[in-house]
Every structure is written in C-alpha cells, then in structure tokens.
Amino acid sequence: MNWKIPLFDIDMSEAEISAVTDVLKSGWLTLGEVTKKFETEFAQMVNCKHAFCVNNGTAALHLALVAAGIGPEDEVIVPSMTFVATTNSILYTGATPVWADVIGYDDFNISPDRIREKITPKTKGILVVHYAGFPCRMREIGEIAKEFNLQVFEDAAHAPGAQIAGQYCGTFGAAGCFSFFSNKNMTMGEGGLITTNDDQLAENLRVMRSHGMTSLTLDRFKGHNYSYDVVALGYNYRPTELQSAIGRVQLKKLPEYNARRTELTKYYHKKLAAVPGLSVPFQNHPGTPSFHVMPILLAKGVDRLAFMGYLKNAGIQTSIHYPPTHLFTYHRNLHDSLREDLPLTTDIAQREVTLPLYPKMTYSDIDFVVQEILQFMKENFKR
C-alpha cells in the first residue's frame, strides 16, 4: 500500500548510519561497551539505578517477571487492553494472568479499583501498561501494592520519557520494561530494556539475560575470566551492539520526538473537538505523556470497518489499539471464568481507532486526516 499518511514513520539519519558503521568496523557485535553506554544513558534519562538492554520488549517483560521470582502458583493482575505480549510474558513464567478492566471512556488505563477486586491470596504482582504513553495512576497503584505486599511491574513500551507526578515511567515499581520496536517513540528495529532500582533484581537480570552465566563473553575477551558457572536458568536475551548503537542516537532525539508528538496531539485534540461521532480520551491527563499513539473512540453505531475503509481509500492508514487479549482464541480458552467481567475493555475495543501520529507529521497532514473524518461523519453519522 502506498499510504499518503502512514500510521507511523521512523526517522533514521546519518547519525544512526554512522553509529552502526562504527560498530561493524569495531569487530565487536554482541553485548559490549556500546550497550553499556546505552544502558547508562537510559538509566540517567529516567533517573534510576540500573538498566539492562535486551533483544526486544517481550523479552524485557518476561525477564523482569521471572527474575523477580514470579512463577507457577502466582497470579499477576494485568490489563487486557494492551498488546498480547503483556499477558504472554506472565504466561511464560507459568503464572496466571488475571485481567482487570480499565478506568473508563476517557482513560483506557487499568483501574486501581478493578485491580483491588482481583486480588486473591495468590496475587504476587501487578503489571500495568501506560497505554499510548499516558501514565497510569501510579500513586494509587503503589498504595494497593504496599497494602497487599505485591510487586509492581510497568510495561512502559509506549512510555519512554513519560512522567507522572515528576517521576519517569519505568521507575515506580520493581521493574520497568521498554520496547524499541519499529513503531515505538524511539527504535532500534527490535530492542528492549529493563529499568530497576533494586540491586538484587539487577543482579538476577544481569545473570539471567545471558544463560544464567556468571561471566560474559566480553569479560573473557577482556581477560577477566577464563570460565563461568551457571547459577540460574537463564535465557539468551542479549541485544547486539548494532541495536544499541541505533538506540544511543535515538535516545538523544527522544526529547525532541516527544515534544513534537505533544504538539501534534494537542493540534489533533483541537481539530477533533468539532467532529461529531467520536470522542477523544486522555484530554485532561495530569501527567506528561509520551503520546505514543493517537486513539479516538467512535460513537456507538458508527461502523468502524466502514470508517477505517473510508480513510484507507483516502490514503490514510489507521489501526486498532487493541484487539483485547481476553478475546483472542488462545487466551479465551485459558481463562473461561475470567473473561466476561471486562465490560469497558470489551466495549472500547470494539470502537477504538488509532489515527496516524509520528514526529515528521505536519499540521496540514492532520488537517487532511480530520477533513476526511469529518466528511465520513457527514455522510454516515446520524445523531
């Protein structure tokens, strides 16, 4: 498809190309000094003690949970209104994901009240998702976690650089997990990262990211060790230096990207205020979001497929965030008793549409998107 306005677009410049070229010429391609620099810079950005880069965001989630001791017999509370990897990371550990509903039509994040209702003696953790880069209600969630002695994990795939109450997403709980997939606010093609302030968890992450080994190939190359022991069931979730090199450049650009996303989203909000047949969530969010995607909610009765088809014919790509996890065939079969009490998630997931948003977008691109939406509503929406 040759879209006039794609859903997202990446920004790769000479800086990324030369950073990758430098790595290729250096002779060291896997987890090394470039990755360590990237981790230090990311930790500084979010103001936390430790950061571990991994090969993708799903690996970050799995590793964070398993290194924090989540396993069979445990339950972890999680939203269904997210990418499937969030729930799957819990399943990989052998634990049971327990879905909790969202706050409402204006805020698609997990609801602290619904979290409370899902707590049982088996609950060990809460895995929140900062949907579209809008930070969750971390103060309330932190209070619940304290009251019931639960670990908090953040799926911050959408939220690099986002803050609430002056604190960065990814630093509120035991661990924060980021994704640097192509469509994210900053990208390495594939990539992920875990942040933590917990020294013991950091040690577990360090060891388990690379097969549970006590020393890395890099350490042996540097002459620090001849051999290694294996002290835990680890994984190969190592990133390449090529990924980290791109990540370092993208991290420098992140503040500028997020600022541009903020301006564009505000402009969308202003323009969409006059459009019938839809509402726009998160308009009065108290935090500093990273505006990863631009969700809207169609009014009841608007045919979503027709809406998306109309925009497609105009050359505008749209998407859905998300087909909810609890309704996938695989996940439905796992959790018969748990799937029916997510009325808001189920309703929102049928009516949500995501509009294009990326830093290189222009105001006139947005004017065009909104004009096409207006035309669709004129022809199709009866109050």
State how far the Cα of 320 lies from the Cα of 268, in Å rounded to an integer.
Answer: 17
State how far the Cα of 302 lies from the Cα of 351, in Å rounded to an integer.
Answer: 8
Q: How many helices (H) and strands (E) does the chain have?
A: 13, 14
Binds ligand PLP by CB under 6 A, chosen from 8, 52, 83, 257: 83
SS3 content of the chain, % helix, strand, coil (to 5): 45, 20, 40
Write down the H helix ranges in 222-352: 241-272, 304-313, 329-334, 343-351
184 is catalytic: yes
CB of 192 to ligand PLP, least distance (A): 5
Specify whether the CB–CB gap between 331 and 325 falls below 8 A. Answer: yes
By CB under 6 A, which span of 80-88, 107-115, 278-286, 368-376 interacts with ligand PLP?
A: 80-88
Residues ≥6 apart with Cβ < 8 Å to 115: 77, 100, 126, 141, 144
Binds ligand PLP by CB under 6 A, chosen from 152, 157, 162, 193: 157
109 lines the binding site for ligand PLP (CB under 6 A): no
* Residue of 204, 227, 229, 188 lying closest to 71 (CA atoms): 204
Structure tokens at 220: 């042996």
Q: Active site residue: 184, 271, 360, 378, which one?
A: 184
Binds ligand PLP by CB under 6 A, chosen from 192, 234, 239, 324: 192
Specify whether the CB–CB gap between 8 and 358 falls below 8 A. Answer: yes
Question: CB-based burial of residue 346 (10 Å sphere; 0-12 exposed, 13-18 middle, 19+ buried)?
Answer: middle
Report CA dihedral (231, 49, 161, 192) to the nearest 10 degrees.
-10
CB of 85 to ligand PLP, least distance (A): 4
- With respect to ligand PLP, which residue has the nearer C-beta, 35 or 56? 56
By CB under 6 A, which span of 53-61, 111-119, 220-228, 328-336 interacts with ligand PLP?
A: 53-61
User: Residues binding ligand PLP: what is the number (CB under 6 A)?
Assistant: 14
- With respect to ligand PLP, which residue has the nearer C-beta, 114 or 184? 184
CA 216 to chain centroid, in Å, comes to: 28
- With respect to ligand PLP, which residue has the nearer C-beta, 60 or 216? 60
250 lines the binding site for ligand PLP (CB under 6 A): no
Specify whether the CB–CB gap between 260 and 292 falls below 8 A. Answer: no
Comparing every residue's Cβ against ligand PLP, the nearest one is: 57
CB of 177 to ligand PLP, least distance (A): 7
184: DSSP letter: S
Binds ligand PLP by CB under 6 A, chosen from 35, 80, 82, 354: 82
By CB under 6 A, which span of 27-35, 155-163, 245-253, 371-379 interacts with ligand PLP?
A: 155-163
307 lines the binding site for ligand PLP (CB under 6 A): no
154 lines the binding site for ligand PLP (CB under 6 A): no
State how far the Cα of 370 lies from the Cα of 303, in Å rounded to an integer.
Answer: 17
SS3 for 246? helix
Binds ligand PLP by CB under 6 A, chosen from 35, 58, 151, 171: 58
85 lines the binding site for ligand PLP (CB under 6 A): yes
CB of 56 to ligand PLP, least distance (A): 4
- With respect to ligand PLP, which residue has the nearer C-beta, 53 or 377? 53
179 lines the binding site for ligand PLP (CB under 6 A): yes
155 lines the binding site for ligand PLP (CB under 6 A): yes
Binds ligand PLP by CB under 6 A, chosen from 56, 185, 240, 345: 56
Handedness of CA 240, 244, 245, 246 (dihedral sign): positive
Question: How many alpha carbons lie under 13 Å from residue 360 in its C-beta half-sphere?
Answer: 9
Binds ligand PLP by CB under 6 A, chosen from 57, 133, 176, 234: 57
Active-site residues, by number, are 184
Contact residues toward ligand PLP (CB under 6 A) are 56-58, 82-83, 85-86, 129, 155, 157-158, 179, 181, 192
